[in-house]
Structure 1
Amino acid sequence: MMIKRFIFFALLINFTFQSQVFAQTTKSKKALKLYKSSQELKKSRDFEKSISALKKAVEIDPKFAEAHLDLGYNYFILRDLRNARVHLQKAAELKPDDQKFKYSYIRVAEFELREGNYKVAVDYAKKYLTYNSSARYQRDVDEANRIIEIGEFAIEGMKNPHDFKPVSLGDVVNKFPYQYFPVLTADNSSMVFIGRQNKIENLYISTNENGKWGEPKPIKEINTNAQEGTCTISGDGKTLIFTACGETKERKVYGLCDLFISHKSGDEWSTPKNMGGKINRRSWESQPALSADGRTLYFVSDRPGGIGGNDIWMTKLNEKNEWTEPENLGPTVNTKRDEIAPFIHANGKTLFFSSEGYLGYGGYDFYKTELKNEKEWETPENLGYPINDFRDQVGLFITADGTKAFYSNEDYESGVIISSVLTSFDFPEEIRPSKISDVVAGKVFDAVTKKPLNAQIKLTNVDSDHLISAVESDEKYGNYLIALTEGSKYALHVDRSGYLYKSLSFDYKKGSESKVIELDIYLDPIDEGSIVTLNNIFFESGSYALLPESKTELDKLVKFMSDNDELKIEIGGHTDNVGSDDKNKTLSLNRANSVKEYLTKAGISDERIATEGYGESKPVEENTSETNKAKNRRIEFKVVKN
């Protein structure tokens, strides 16, 4: 699946001029005769016989540089790169400072670059430029300059290597001749990848049990006898988008390759659906990358309107649950060459991808960029050596905590992939995402019956009142997963019609070691006497003035009251035991009234809202620590009449 690019040129040689020159550079008349015969054969485009004659010529005179040069070109035209390299290299060695051999220098520079022999590549490229100043060969001049730039960058970069120790994921998961493009759920419990055997690509899933990857199982609802290519999975493992190339009876496509989507409920995946004409065009769409909540999609396309070649595009699910018109990520990310294989980290801000358009180590390298705001990206950064080297690096996945990387380690022989093994390594700290993510996972239940519930779970940044992610718990099992990124204060709301919503608060402004937070959530039916703690209402110490970051919670309460327009509630204020009873009771009542005032200004009838100040009389914890006191300082609402 890796992409190996070679540049092939139609090389025109002045055969008459060369024959006159070559007559003076070999003492063997027989070798010269064979050489002349090869020229005639080449003119008639019989390259095989031309090669045969030239091989005999160099057997007779191994130092016949011009014959080696022509052999190299013939092999190059036939795309036999191994033999082309041998003879062009020999020609360059025999004539290291001869202007007539300058084209062997640039070709050898290309070959050496592809093998990571940077200094040799740079030397040959510089030698080529010394002997060529003609605008007629500008393409080769540009290539020589690029080789020099790459070579010098690589030589310097190799002086400061990362600690890089890739380890195979083991024979159990690496059971196919080839496996590649691994993607994981946010809690690292499941991995989906492409397995290839008998020239057929299908999707497989492996689960992590006690730190070891289990036997990969085919995703039967998705796999066919056709090709299922690069895929992506949401953080909770419930949304899968994959590439299908070529039309089948079951799958209609718009272009060369299209993106299809499937959702998991319980243990079953839905029948895949084409993502439609906005996403898929008559062009090539592939290599999708979903955000953790499954609501932002990055993918690769060569559609019109891009910067050049294959570009990375982005689309989002809107409020109507429809994918928006894709947008090109723009010239900060995309170049005139190819950008491929995007991966968006669980933090939703750090994008990893492969590119051959930026300065690197040759071929495709891994890069990362950070989202500065809604649409602006930072200048991409090369991930460095030896994560990147002269080979193509494509398809990287970084865990939510930023510590582990997964990819497919591929070996090539003469430009052909001979093995591909799923591999992981410790991701160097100096190039990790700027913000890591925690994972909150658990199940949603009916508080009375204890049965699993399908519910909406929304995460909002309370400082900006911006929706960060939205997921649903599974209808059959009630399980959910959502990513929390360090550096912000979050409100987590869990909703289901007919139930009181649950309000949770997570303060990650200071950052912490990433982990999986296990949290089961029980929703109470809307019954008289039911109580909800509003964990995201904030006041200044000793004051009843609402702080701006309370807006998310207050607006949620407004919507809840609007959706349940017969409901009457009591808003109760509570304090810790600091201060006198009377002052605490007055403060708690004033805080409750502040919440009521916000609701009434938002259109909720005054008659539906009662208030009460309980002061320190109803603590939920003993006031023995600052943590417990913070829990006691709260606003609740109680259902008075349903």
Structure 2
Amino acid sequence: MNFRSFLALAFAITLSLNDTFGQVTENPKVDEQSAPYVKIRRVELTDEYTIIHLRFVDKGSGIPQQPQGIPFRFNPKQGMGQGSSQIWLDPETRLYKPGEIEKKFKFIKAENIPTNSTKKVSLGDTVNFVAYFERLSPGIEEFDFYEGRSSQGTQSWNFYGIQIKNPLKKQPQKAEQASAKAKAPVKKPATEPAIPKNEPQKEENTNESGVAVFRGTVYNAKTKQPIAAEIRYVENGDSLQIKSSSGKYKIGLDPSEKYDFRVTAKGFYSTSYNISPADSIGKATFSRDFYLNPLAVGETITMPNIYFETSKFALLPESYGELDRLADMMKENKNIRIRIEGHTDNVGDFDKNLELSRKRAESVQAYLVEKGIESNRIEAKGYGATRPLSQGSAEERRKNRRVEFVITEA
């Protein structure tokens, strides 16, 4: 065998090994993860498995917080003495293609971490372990690693946007040539009507996995740039939170639950959002971007969820959540002073509208004082219909009926 033949044979063997043993991605890029002390070190694809090598390091600081992310749960100091913890891998862990959670790849087995018991770890310990899953379909080069939602006494984590090498398999050239040479199908005579097939269509259940995905990005409303943020919510009685340094978030939801989300960021006014996955049958992914206003002097911030009795200034209970959030912001930022501004549309008597808008602003002021905010930090003014947002249709003019606050000192 000459040298050229030897090189050709070696190259063929290498290709064969790649086809047989798949791809290996060292230290893959991960878009979002909640805990810096857990890393995905390597993802290996074989003919049979997706093999994920992970490392857990108990650094102590930060662990008792409520992290979300990776495939195993962490239970801090559960009867193990000061400075010790327990970890294990939930066998319900699965892999998903982002945005297509019906494409799931099940957990098979694990090495060096238990799945039906717990493993004790002490401060400073390092645990290297391996998780085996069904083989990702060729062409899926980004996937999510979803362990589940936190429950009482435990903390669960997930990885989102794990990027690996997993190209589509190339079709044999001979097969392509054979397909090209295939004869065109014989057409039936035009006089012969086509007989429709009444085969029942298979209905896809996008919530087959029992998980809905809520995703998006948190932005600075002024600069339109992503900002580090925190999203808090309650599920099955547990208070949970997601921290994102990039502003991007992705949360697995129980489709049967209703959720109230609160989005916060340091130096910005928080907002809230309600969602009920069950209201959108068959929809498995929900997208929502949030734009938070910076807490800076001169900023005018509209409060969208303030409601009054019709043509009166008495606050309705539906307003309390929004007002409590404003009160919390002022308690956290002792130097901030605000001016509450009431506005109406131009329907009705001008003077009465002006008085109504002032009294509504004063109702908001009184509520905040009841919540412990010093009265000298809150000014109240009514502008009636003098500062409209829209002059369009009746529906558009409804936007003029609003309550805002302006930051006067910070």
TM-score in terms of structure 1 length: 0.34
| Larger relative strand fraction | 2
- State the structure with bigger RCO (CA 8 A, min sep 6), 1 or 2: 2
| Larger relative helix fraction | 1
TM-score in terms of structure 2 length: 0.50
- The structure that has the greater radius of gyration is 1
